[in-house]
């Protein structure tokens, strides 16, 4: 995949300015480093560590945060346009997945597991939300 992408000619397009505070810019720069050796396996001692690992792999916040709206709704606040239109000709936006009552704050663990295993009973658009990648995970 990398070799193919590197074979493509670059495309120049203007990008919006980043909206990070100076402190966030410093933390981002301090955390960036090339991988120059083996990477330690993540710890899975606690359930939250497994969840954090899955969120990172799935890049949940990339879709569930509207990075270019004004104002930005916050990390995981939804509103990101995922598809220009669905089969009914309507735009598809990501959902708020924060603990806020307007998000999934009212969901139980069983609710969340059901949605991730069934795509909300089949209602989630498989191209917009790739729940099928998580459908066969165990509770652990």
The 10s digit of each residue's pLDDT in 122-138 is 778 777 888 888 888 88
- pLDDT of residue 140 exceeding 80, the answer is no
Tokens of 70: 């004004």
What are the residues whose beta carbons fall under 8 Å from the beta carbon of 73, sequence distance 6 or more? 65, 66, 79, 96
Predicted confidence at residue 7, as pLDDT, reads 92
Confidence band of 9 (pLDDT split at 50, 70, 90)? very high
Q: What pLDDT shows up at residue 126?
A: 76
With contact defined as beta carbons under 8 Å apart, do 68 and 50 qualify?
no
The predicted structure's pLDDT at residue 25: 87
pTM summary value: 0.62
Distance CA 138, CA 131 (A): 14
């Amino acid at each position: 995949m990398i070799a193919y992408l590197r074979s493509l000619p670059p495309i120049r397009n203007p990008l919006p300015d980043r909206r990070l505070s100076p402190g966030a810019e410093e933390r981002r720069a301090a955390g960036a480093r090339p991988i120059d050796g083996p990477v330690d396996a993540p710890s899975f001692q606690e359930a939250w560590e497994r969840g954090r690992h899955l969120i990172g792999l799935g890049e949940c916040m990339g879709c569930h945060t509207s990075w270019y709206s004004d104002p930005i709704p916050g990390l995981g606040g939804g509103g990101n346009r995922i598809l220009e239109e669905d089969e009914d000709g309507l735009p598809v936006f990501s959902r708020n997945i924060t603990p806020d009552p307007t998000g999934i704050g009212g969901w139980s663990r069983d609710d969340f597991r059901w949605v991730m295993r069934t795509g909300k009973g089949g209602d989630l658009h498989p191209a917009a939300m790739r729940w099928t990648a998580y459908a066969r995970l165990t509770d652990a």
